[in-house]
Amino acid sequence: MATLLRKIGLIRLHNRDTEDPKHHHNHRGGGQQSASLRGKGGAKSGGHKQQQQQQPQQQQHPGGAGDASPGPGKGKGKRAAELAPRDKAPAAAAAAAAAGAGGPRERAAGARAGPGPAVAAAAGGSLVPAARQQHCTQVRSRRLMKELQDIARLSDRFISVELVDESLFDWNVKLHQVDKDSVLWQDMKETNTEFILLNLTFPDNFPFSPPFMRVLSPRLENGYVLDGGAICMELLTPRGWSSAYTVEAVMRQFAASLVKGQGRICRKAGKSKKSFSRKEAEATFKSLVKTHEKYGWVTPPVSDG
């Protein structure tokens, strides 16, 4: 009899140790199934699909349904393992957002992506104008150097150039010749005036904008020379200027306008010795530009050349 009881006890212990763990899992999940039955009608089928999707994950983690000896705390561990992949993604995203570009990987990714729009805009605000200014300076310098070389090669010595304080952008130009049949030429001979001296200053965006040109000496009357030595010529205005105009061409046009406008050397006592001023010339030129922009420039007849 004792032997029979020992055999029965061993059979029970064996059945308990080899019992299917799914029985415990289903027993623990009974509350969840009852809750799902109180929900929508399609929740049972969804729970069945979710259970089928969880089985491969349970086989990968120890303590799941595939473990032959589940302990008393393995059910909670299995549930935590199932929820871990869902919780890792938001947590990782939050950590990356909080860390910013602190880690080496984040810094490497930021370097590959390049600066953001705000950084690029801030950098562009300071770098673009500086680069543009440097480019304009190079264009202006190359153009003026070429102009100087072309003037030096003139065979008729029509004009000559001297740099003011060795500045490439500030010239004193001597006009040596005008029409020899004009009264202005006669005035130059009678007053022993060898040349008409003009000053040309070139803006930063030359040759796309005209130079500012004014007469320095002698003091002239008429000939489209106004107060301060300002010169009334449309091609010297932003509207009439072209980047194709050269200094030589501008000076030849000025010599022609002097003769056409009956320019004369001022011989009045006291007034002839008064020199032109740049400030007065600039104010006069601005005023005449506004006047001509409002009323237009008078085009001379074809018979006048």
> Look-up: residue for tokens 């199934």?
33
What is the dihedral sign for C-alpha 123, 124, 130, 135?
positive
For residue 226, give every residue at least 6 positions away whose Cβ sits within 8 Å of its Cβ, in sequence order, or none.
Answer: 232, 284, 285, 288
Nearest to 223 by CA among 265, 251, 252, 281: 265
Cβ-contact 61, 78 below 8 angstroms: yes
Parallel, antiparallel or unpaired: strands 220-221 and 196-201: unpaired
- Please identify every residue annotated as catalytic: 232
Report the alpha-carbon distance of residue 183 to residue 264 in Å, rounded: 7
* Helix (H/G/I), strand (E/B), else coil: 207: coil
